[in-house]
Amino acid sequence: AAVRGYRAIFTMPDKMSQEKIDMLKAYGADVIVTRTDLPHDHPDSYVEVAKRVARETPGGFYTDQYYNMDNPEAHYLTTGPELWADTDGKIDALVGGIGTGGTISGAGKYLKEQAAAAGRSVKIICPDPYGSIYYDEFHKGRSDEPGTYRVEGIGHDFMVGTLDFSVIDDIIQVSDKDSFLTTRQLARAEGIFAGGSSGTAVHGALQVAAQLGPGKIVVVIICDSGDRYLSKCHNDTWMKDLGYLEPEPKLPGQVADLLHFRNRPVEFAQADESIANVAKRMAQQGISQLPIIPASDSPNSSPGQFFMVHEGDLLQHMVSGDANASDPILSVAKPLKGQVAPADPLAKVQSVFDDDNVAVVVDQGRISGIISKIDLIEYLASRS
């Protein structure tokens, strides 16, 4: 716009970094900041404000990135062919986040077509923040109330027209903490100075690569720059204030020590077990959460993925009428968060409690224990 002499007006929610605003203004753009907590169709949301500004500005043009089909078409014509050519047609998986969906839909469509013509397949996997609706829409065909998350430029609270689910093989969820820590590790270990949404994508890509195994070509799209997040995920104070940086190890021992002290078997629910039966078991055993092992052929899970149901989730779905007592428990479960390993320091368990009610111990792909806050308290009390 600056080169062509156009006036550029940008709207964005107030969760966006100050660096983004300052950068746009440095190019001579006008920036209108709106509230993050407004639904997309609210008159004062950044989407509706942009439409209104375009209508009220003589000669104004609204690019409409969420519904302009030139968006995915551009990636079908350019990004897809580039990835296919640069991997000599041997790409096994493309991993990328969903903002507008244009990149992953356009490039993914091209790669799928080329792979099919070559008699092979390519997986399209999209990491998505907890709180975005894309995961639920993809796996369940509906979404719960959208949540809040701090990663910028990825995920959404509404479905967009430029996103083509038919191209995507799976959507996996990534927490803010994992996104930001991966972003920082990219800079420190690889010299790649990226932003938070790239951390989301890379964290997901590492999971995909681990599942596919050696010898596979996994491409991940790193689409933002770290210089826009110097006051956020690349700032130690910001990370510490929000609890994203690992605490200094102050607790004695490892997770395995607590498991040995606790010495109780883990109760599981089967994916097809009814909500009523699971609720009855939880009440009888006096537990407030239960891990679920999905069936191997479940369309709602990836290999090695576990789910958890909390009593609060059951109550929410039963009260709202979204679920019936006879429905399978997997329909109201959520992907497992708060995972730790037996060799992890106990300090990591404490940090998990900041984001979830319990810490789930996963050992070689199996759940070997569930640790609650009272378990940790009893363990520490026994040592004092």
What pLDDT, in 10s, does the model give residues 108-123? 999 999 999 999 999 9
User: Quick check: is 65 in a domain?
Assistant: no
User: Quick check: is 220 in a domain?
Assistant: yes
Q: Record the tokens describing residue 276, joined without a space.
A: 């009523």
Q: Write out the E strands in 170-254.
A: 170-174, 218-220
User: Quick check: is 249 in a domain?
Assistant: no
pLDDT, averaged across the chain? 89
- Judge contact between 126 and 98, C-beta under 8 A: yes
Integer Cα distance of 325 and 329 in angstroms: 9
User: Quick check: is 288 in a domain?
Assistant: yes
- Judge contact between 175 and 148, C-beta under 8 A: no
Regarding whether 168 and 283 lie in a shared domain, the answer is no
Name which of 124, 115, 126 is nearest 90 in CA terms. Answer: 115
Segment among 67-76, 170-179, 345-354, 361-370 with least mean pLDDT: 345-354
- Tens-place pLDDT, residues 314-335: 887 778 777 888 888 888 888 7
pLDDT value of residue 248: 58
Segment among 173-182, 220-229, 372-381 with least mean pLDDT: 372-381
Regarding whether 228 and 81 lie in a shared domain, the answer is yes
Regarding whether 359 and 307 lie in a shared domain, the answer is yes
- Judge contact between 221 and 103, C-beta under 8 A: yes
Percent of all residues in the chain with a pLDDT value above 90, rounded to a whole number: 56
What is the mean predicted confidence (pLDDT) over 49-64?
A: 95
User: Quick check: is 63 in a domain?
Assistant: no
Regarding whether 228 and 199 lie in a shared domain, the answer is yes
User: Quick check: is 3 in a domain?
Assistant: no
Statement: the pTM of the whole predicted model exceeds 0.85: no
pLDDT value of residue 300: 43
Regarding whether 236 and 160 lie in a shared domain, the answer is yes
Regarding whether 143 and 278 lie in a shared domain, the answer is no
pLDDT value of residue 302: 46
| pLDDT of residue 285 exceeding 90 | no
Largest CA distance in the chain: 73
Select the more confidently predicted residue: 180 or 285. Answer: 180
Regarding whether 81 and 41 lie in a shared domain, the answer is no
Regarding whether 127 and 52 lie in a shared domain, the answer is no
User: Quick check: is 283 in a domain?
Assistant: yes
What is the mean predicted confidence (pLDDT) over 38-49?
A: 90
Name which of 125, 124, 183 is nearest 152 in CA terms. Answer: 183
pLDDT value of residue 372: 84
Integer Cα distance of 171 and 138 in angstroms: 7
Regarding whether 128 and 19 lie in a shared domain, the answer is no
pLDDT value of residue 354: 60
Q: Record the tokens describing residue 3, joined without a space.
A: 């080169």
Segment among 94-103, 206-215, 236-245, 345-354 with least mean pLDDT: 345-354
User: Quick check: is 213 in a domain?
Assistant: yes
CATH number assigned to the domain comprising residue 17:
3.40.50.1100
Kindly report each contact of residues 88-91 with a partner whose C-beta sits within 8 Å and lies 24 or more positions away, as own/partner: 89/114, 89/115, 89/118, 90/217, 91/115, 91/122, 91/217, 91/219
What is the mean predicted confidence (pLDDT) over 81-86?
A: 98
Integer Cα distance of 103 and 126 in angstroms: 11
| pLDDT of residue 303 exceeding 60 | no
Q: How many domains does the chain fold into?
A: 3
Regarding whether 320 and 171 lie in a shared domain, the answer is no
Regarding whether 216 and 172 lie in a shared domain, the answer is yes
Regarding whether 211 and 79 lie in a shared domain, the answer is yes
User: Domain limits at 101?
Assistant: 70-241
Q: Record the tokens describing residue 272, joined without a space.
A: 């097809």
CATH number assigned to the domain comprising residue 329:
3.10.580.10
| pLDDT of residue 301 exceeding 60 | no
